[in-house]
């Protein structure tokens, strides 16, 4: 796991929960992506190409995810709150971004896996970002970017 950039996170995927005997249990990231994040992004989804997509993220993305996750930090939901913390506009939740990436790869993920992500820079809302993914020998690599990366991630089968 990389520790460079704005932050890093690691978790076991939804497949790992199922294979560990949790039945139909899903990770919070995957459930949140299906509930709020994926819907918001799908509404503004742009063209798809092999290994990628364009996501149009409305300013309400922060409030929609806050309603599902309970993370109502004003940097995600309010222009004034974001400005008080040094951001020109609200920013997307990092965990929303991670969950949206996992939702984009649904159906292609191994039964059990780990997810490593590095948060490089915040996504200002509203925004249009590109999602790219490519299979690797161990799983998948993925990126969310504009001119520069916002999130770098990898999925490794376990």
pLDDT tens per residue, range 79-98: 999 999 999 999 999 999 99
Structural domain for 49, as ranges: 7-157
pTM given for the model: 0.74
In a domain, 2, yes or no: no
In a domain, 86, yes or no: yes
Residue 128: CATH number of its domain: 3.10.129.10
Identify which of 56, 34, 38, 36 has the alpha carbon closest to the alpha carbon of residue 46. Answer: 56
In a domain, 32, yes or no: yes
Is 99 in contact with 33 (CB distance < 8 Å)?
Answer: yes
In a domain, 50, yes or no: yes
pLDDT of residue 13: 52
- pLDDT tens by residue, 47-73: 555 678 999 999 999 999 999 999 999
In a domain, 93, yes or no: yes
Considering its fold, how many domains does the chain have in total? 1
């Amino acid at each position: 796991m990389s520790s460079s950039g704005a932050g890093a996170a690691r978790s076991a995927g939804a497949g790992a929960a199922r294979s560990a005997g949790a039945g139909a249990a899903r990770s919070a990231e995957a459930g949140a992506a299906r509930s709020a994040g994926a819907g918001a992004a799908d509404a503004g989804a742009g063209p798809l190409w092999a290994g990628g997509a364009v996501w149009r993220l409305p300013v309400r993305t922060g409030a929609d995810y806050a309603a599902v996750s309970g993370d109502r930090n004003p940097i995600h939901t309010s222009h004034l709150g974001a400005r008080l913390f040094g951001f020109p506009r609200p920013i997307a939740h990092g965990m929303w971004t991670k969950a949206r990436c996992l939702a984009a790869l649904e159906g292609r993920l191994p039964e059990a896996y780990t997810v490593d992500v590095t948060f490089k820079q915040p996504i200002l809302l509203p925004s249009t970002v590109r999602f790219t993914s490519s299979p690797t020998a161990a799983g998948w690599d993925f990126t969310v970017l504009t001119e520069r990366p916002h999130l770098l991630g990898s999925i490794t089968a376990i």
